[in-house]
Amino acid sequence: MISWHNAPEYSHKGYIYRPEIEHEDEEGIRKATHRCVSRIDPLDVMIAPHLPYRFLTEDQFKEFVSAMLKVRSMI
Instruction: For residue 9, give the nearest of 61, 44, 49 by alpha carbon.
Output: 61
Q: Is the dihedral of CA 53, 57, 59, 63 positive or negative?
A: positive
Nearest of 14, 6, 25, 4 to residue 62 by alpha carbon: 14
Q: Is the pLDDT of residue 23 over 80?
A: no
| For the chain, percent of residues with pLDDT exceeding 70 | 100
- For residue 1, pLDDT beyond 80: no
Q: What is the pLDDT of residue 29?
A: 85
Residue 35's nearest CA partner among 63, 65, 6, 59 is 65
Q: Enter the pTM of the model.
A: 0.88
> What is the pLDDT at residue 2?
84
Q: DSSP secondary-structure letter at 23?
A: P
